[in-house]
């Protein structure tokens, strides 16, 4: 069987429905413990990519049906050497060359777009976690990819958070943060904090452990913050955020955000960052506690929060552990360098 590969454009509802079906079939077969991704999210992501970037989807079709796909993220402003991809083949259509054809196509797209860093991720088992096939790893290693970064995905069932333990954690920590004010909101950032939020988010790629992934710092300005919010709104994402403000200077010194969605019991804990000059005041833990509190108060339909951290990120992992997050599996970023 030879699969034809074509680009799926935003608005191609039939192809995007099938793309979702392939992702869901792979999840059900290989990572059933992970949160399902609602079908609308694929259409939303193609239509509204992250600021200064493009999302591309290519489908491999056989007999008129989508049997495999590439989901590619291409930064367009900073990090234009970089690309990041999910590659999946429907479990019923494997070992027939579809994966190889898709990977060849990806490498061609990367060359055409002058990307030297090609990242393809796959899920791996962690100690004590459910079984994960190593097919993706063997496939990628056979094509010259090497491990660049391992991120452990953890989940927190909100009903396992003991309110007394949570209050105790808060009480024990708040004294260290006398110089700071925690500010929480849901939705758009108040105008007063937009620049400060951008400033701290500009530090993300300089501060989070990235292993051998070559992502360089990018500038998050007010426009970026607002575009990110427009995108979240267009996709039905609810942004639940807590920041810490340094009382003396008004600087935003910590930021944490959870993405929820109406009707979805799973939510995603995205970035948490504390400015290096303001570490040691328990701001990471306090901001997360405050944010989980507002999640529970305002979006009680969420039962589970997911988060991923580099396996080397001891500080964040320690906080997540205290909050009751438990490892499920790992997302391994494999890399191939296309530089001559």
Ligand X SMILES: CC(C)(COP(=O)(O)OP(=O)(O)OC[C@H]1O[C@@H](n2cnc3c(N)ncnc32)[C@H](O)[C@@H]1OP(=O)(O)O)[C@@H](O)C(=O)NCCC(=O)NCCS
Residue placing its CB nearer to ligand X in the complex, 103 or 289: 103
Here's the x/- map for ligand X, 188-227, by CB under 6 A: it reads as ----------------------------------------
CA distance 267 to 157: 11
Residue placing its CB nearer to ligand X in the complex, 138 or 168: 138
Q: What is the smallest separation between the CB atom of 334 and ligand X, expressed in angstroms?
A: 7
Binding-site member from 120, 177, 210, 274 for ligand X (CB under 6 A):
120
Residue placing its CB nearer to ligand X in the complex, 122 or 154: 122
Q: How many CB atoms are closer than 10 A to CB 192?
A: 11
CB burial string 101-138: b at 16+ within 10 A, e below: bbbebbbebbeeeebbbbbbbbbbebeebeebeeebbe
Asked if 2 interacts with ligand X (CB under 6 A), we say: no
Asked if 20 interacts with ligand X (CB under 6 A), we say: no
Binding-site member from 53, 135, 202, 227 for ligand X (CB under 6 A):
135
CA distance 39 to 331: 21
Asked if 97 interacts with ligand X (CB under 6 A), we say: yes
Asked if 88 interacts with ligand X (CB under 6 A), we say: yes
SS3 86: strand
Asked if 87 interacts with ligand X (CB under 6 A), we say: yes
Binding-site member from 122, 218, 237, 241 for ligand X (CB under 6 A):
122
Residue in 83, 120, 115, 75 with CA at minimum distance from that of residue 99: 120
Here's the x/- map for ligand X, 136-155, by CB under 6 A: it reads as x-xxx-x-------------
Asked if 27 interacts with ligand X (CB under 6 A), we say: no
CA distance 270 to 37: 16
Residue placing its CB nearer to ligand X in the complex, 71 or 180: 71
Binding-site member from 89, 260, 285, 286 for ligand X (CB under 6 A):
89
Could you tell me if 333 and 147 are in contact, meaning their C-beta atoms sit under 8 angstroms apart? yes
* Window contacting ligand X (CB under 6 A); options: 132-140, 247-255, 292-300, 304-312: 132-140
Q: What is the smallest separation between the CB atom of 123 and ligand X, expressed in angstroms?
A: 7
Asked if 26 interacts with ligand X (CB under 6 A), we say: yes
Q: Angle of helix 194-201 relative to helix 222-234, nearest 10 degrees?
A: 90
Asked if 106 interacts with ligand X (CB under 6 A), we say: no
Query: Site for ligand X (CB under 6 A): how many residues?
Result: 19
Strands 53-62 and 252-261, bridge-based pairing: unpaired
Binding-site member from 95, 127, 131, 262 for ligand X (CB under 6 A):
95
Strands 266-274 and 304-310, bridge-based pairing: parallel
Query: What single DSSP character describes residue 218?
Result: -
Structure tokens at 145: 């990819």
Q: Strand runs (DSSP E) across 158-265, as ranges?
A: 180-186, 237-246, 252-261
CA distance 158 to 203: 30
Residue placing its CB nearer to ligand X in the complex, 275 or 329: 329
Q: Which spans of this chain sit near ligand X (rule: CB under 6 A)?
A: 26, 87-89, 94-100, 120, 122, 135-136, 138-140, 142
């Amino acid at each position: 069987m030879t699969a034809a590969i074509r680009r799926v454009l935003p608005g191609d509802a039939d192809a995007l429905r099938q793309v979702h079906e392939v992702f869901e079939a792979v999840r059900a077969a290989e990572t059933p413990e992970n949160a399902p991704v609602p079908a609308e999210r694929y259409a939303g992501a193609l239509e509204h990519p992250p600021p200064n970037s493009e999302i591309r989807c290519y489908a491999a079709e056989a007999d008129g049906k989508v049997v495999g796909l590439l989901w590619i993220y291409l930064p367009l402003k900073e990090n234009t050497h970089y690309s990041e991809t999910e590659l999946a083949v429907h479990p019923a259509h494997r070992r027939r060359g579809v994966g190889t054809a898709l990977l060849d196509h990806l490498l061609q797209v990367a060359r055409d777009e002058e990307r030297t860093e090609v990242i393809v991720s796959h899920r791996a088992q962690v100690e004590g976690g459910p079984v994960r096939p190593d097919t993706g790893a063997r496939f990628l290693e056979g094509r010259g990819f090497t491990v660049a970064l391992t991120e452990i995905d953890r989940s927190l069932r909100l009903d396992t958070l003991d309110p007394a333990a949570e209050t105790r954690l808060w009480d024990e920590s708040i004294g260290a943060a006398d110089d700071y004010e925690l500010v929480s909101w849901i939705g758009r950032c108040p105008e007063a904090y937009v620049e400060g939020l951008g400033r701290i988010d500009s530090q993300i790629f300089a501060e989070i452990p990235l292993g051998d992934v070559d992502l360089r710092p990018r500038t998050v300005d007010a426009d970026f913050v607002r575009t990110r919010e427009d995108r979240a709104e267009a996709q039905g994402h609810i942004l639940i955020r807590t920041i810490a403000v340094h009382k003396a200077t008004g600087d935003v010194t910590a930021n944490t955000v959870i993405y929820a969605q109406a009707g979805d019991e799973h939510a995603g804990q995205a970035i948490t960052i504390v400015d290096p000059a303001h570490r040691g005041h328990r701001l990471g833990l306090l901001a997360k506690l405050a944010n989980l509190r507002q999640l529970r108060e305002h979006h009680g339909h969420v039962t589970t929060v997911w988060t991923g951290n580099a396996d080397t990120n001891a500080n964040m992992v320690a906080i997540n552990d205290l909050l009751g997050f438990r490892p499920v599996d790992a997302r391994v970023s494999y890399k191939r360098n296309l530089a001559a």
